[in-house]
Chain A
Amino acid sequence: MRILVVEDEIDLQESLAQALREDGYAVDTADNGEDGLYKAKVWDYDVIILDWMLPKLNGVELLRRLRRIKKTPVMLLTAKDAVNDRVTGLDEGADDYLIKPFSLSELLARVRSLIRRSTGNASNRIAFGTVEIDLASKTVKESGNPVELTAREYAMLELLAVHAGKLVSRTMIYNHIFDEQDDTLSNLVDVHISHLRKKLGKDFIETRRGQGYILHV
């Protein structure tokens, strides 16, 4: 899952990015509205965390322009707590609204909820035969036994799981698993997939040569 954090307060932006990365997300950052809009247009993020007050282009204007072309879930982050401001923010297309100061754990829970909703899942637990994935605690069990996965492996499994039954292309994996700081190599995906197969069973992930991967329900 890849997240864009647009926040001009550098200290806050760094803390947010670190917290999200530690939670297994790929995180991009922008410290002004124009950069933020550019990145949001170029990449398909799973969630955008957007500050309202930004230099060059404010958050609501950014959201308005983004909404003309994309439905990416957006969480508006702001110190404006008046009802009118919240209404404006939500009406301009924000999917969630978090008022500063906030608790990191709440922010992370809301990010999970946004991802869950945007992929059409009702619950944090997704089961595939004997494999059960808990999106909240980011753990995987096979026949009731915990399976140890690296952060990357888990991220890839999660991506396949929330898009279960649909084809997930390699580009999509690159887009959602790796952020702008990663030095990606194309065969890295194949390595992670083979590790997942070893740990969860040979037929767990189907490969469609030249197209991508699919996880069957």
Chain B
Amino acid sequence: MFSVFRSLRWRLQSWHAIMLLLVIAVFGALLHWEMLRAHWDRVDDELLGAARILEGSMNAVPSTVLEAMAKDVTFRSGPRRRPQFPNRPRRDPQESLPPAGPPQLERPRSSPMQDWKFPKSLGEVKSDWSQEEWEASIELPPQLPEHLGRMEGPAYFVIWRADGSVLKESKVPKQSPLLTDPITFAIDRDRYARQQRGAFREVFIRGPFETVICVGRPAAGEVSKVSAMTWTLVLSGLSVLSVGLVGGWWFSKRAIEPIERMSRTAQRISANSLSERIELSGFDSELEGLGTSLNTMLDRLGQAFEQQRQFTADASHEFRTPLSVMLASSELALSKPRTAEEYRQHLVKCQRAATRMRELGDSMLTLARLDANPTLETQSVDMASVLGEAVESILPLAEERSVRVEMDLHPSPLRGNRSMLRQAIDNLLSNAIKYNKPDGMVTVRCKQVDQNIEIEIQDNGIGIPEHAIPKLFDRFYRVDESRSREAGGTGLGLSIVNQIVLCHGGTISVESKVDSGSTFRIYLPSTN
């Protein structure tokens, strides 16, 4: 159950879903907000226009005043214009207008329309106006009914005095919240307030004498339009999300599929089927790299397993022959009563077989030790003395085969494991004598060459065929596939030599020609 949530695909999918949801939600919300604002701004602009007309009409200077002004004020250029009083009550033109013309307006202007200011003298006398006089002078603009009529739904307006009493109003629909709900918000002087109450949209501005002007209209149509827009947005968001999720699921399947293929292959691979390889076709380069390195690893593992398997098979094969001699001889000896001489002969055979098995076991143990622990205990060794001792101990065998051994030894100091080196030399020497001809010769040399000690064991014996040389150091490899009885041996001698040389950081090579002899050459790092 929980393993599902630990799967890479599920995690990818979950993250993908969360990210997608966030992105869609943020964009959707922004879009929604922007659409709403644009929509209501249009409505508000209309309402605000009407409110400004009302405000303008309340600020407007009555035509009688303008006529009086026209007598004294000279407009240098541009058409005559009705000035706007910035929320100030007007005064009697007779008193407010000074006899002399306003000097500010005398100056010529390039564009008097922009900077036109009403004469100061006119403004300075405003305080004389009482609210009542002002209220009485308000003329509602004649274009207002037309303007309100153009709006959707019957628009309405209300003008309140500062004390909250109604100054002027049009016919307010019964459902309007104006009639029931108190206004609880502040209205700035220079700005406007707007409010959506139920299905009504209203705009509030401040007029002269702390009056408040409200223009509103029912907005049920807009509300339903907006909610339709909201739903469209939500639904399209959901559909984009689901398409994204399905796509993500598909993509993650595609991305995971090679990994699953790899794991299926890996499951099939065991010690018995190391030949299986991961199919690399159709992989992306990253996964192909992974697959290739896995395959290379499998190649190496396969080789190691094959070597191990071969070694075990060869070892058991090597043990079978002496074992069958022992079994056959003992069974035969015991099959009926025999003379003492017959028993002795069978026992001799058994002993020979047992000796061979012991040699085999010893060799395998040596190799196993060298394999398991390639770092040997080392001491200072002079190869010349090692070679001298080895030759001395092999002389009886050499005499028996009438093989002459010659030495040419120079001081050759190195660090190494003396008994191991001795064993390697013993193996090479006994090979050189065993695979020699009667009256043959073996030459043993050692000397220092640059940083290395060069050891050479040369014989003029039967030689090694060319095809056998590459396999010569393989375990259980024999030049003649059958056990050559006279020479004996386990098939491990040269493998042991090779392993000992490798453990000393050296190299071994062989030159040979059939019927003219072989030369084994070892290089070991010197201490000098």
Q: Mark A residues whose CB is within 8 Å of B.
A: 8-12, 14-16, 18-19, 22, 32, 53-55, 58, 79-82, 99-105
Contact = CB atoms under 8 A, between A and B. Distances in A.
8 contacts: A11-B352, A32-B482, A53-B481, A55-B484, A99-B320, A102-B324, A103-B331, A104-B335
7 closest A-B pairs by CB: A79-B320, A101-B324, A100-B324, A15-B328, A100-B320, A101-B323, A11-B349
A9 B485 contact: yes
Contacts of A14: 349
Given A11-B349, A82-B313, A19 B483 contact: no
A77 B316 CA distance: 15
B323 A100 contact: yes
Contacts of B336: 22
Contacts of A8: 482-483, 485
Nearest to B326: A101
A101 B327 contact: yes
B331 A105 contact: yes
A16 B482 contact: no
A53 B482 CA distance: 5
Contact of B325 (A12, A18, A82, A103): A12
Contacts of A53: 481-483
A18 B321 contact: no
Contacts of A11: 325, 329, 349, 352-353
Contacts of B327: 101-104
A9 B317 contact: no
A35 B515 CA distance: 24
B480 A104 contact: no
Contacts of A10: 485
A58 B482 contact: yes
Contacts of B326: 101
Given A15-B325, A53-B482, 4 more contacts: A11-B352, A12-B321, A19-B331, A101-B326
A26 B332 CA distance: 17
Nearest to A55: B482
A79 B332 contact: no
Contacts of B332: 15, 18-19, 22, 104
B477 to A, nearest CB: 13
A8 B480 CA distance: 12
Nearest to A58: B481
B313 A101 contact: no
A58 B323 CA distance: 21
Contacts of A15: 325, 328-329, 332, 346, 349
Interface in B306-354: 313, 316-318, 320-321, 323-329, 331-332, 335-336, 346, 349, 352-353
A105 B173 CA distance: 124
B181 to A, nearest CB: 98
Contact of B328 (A12, A32, A55, A82): A12
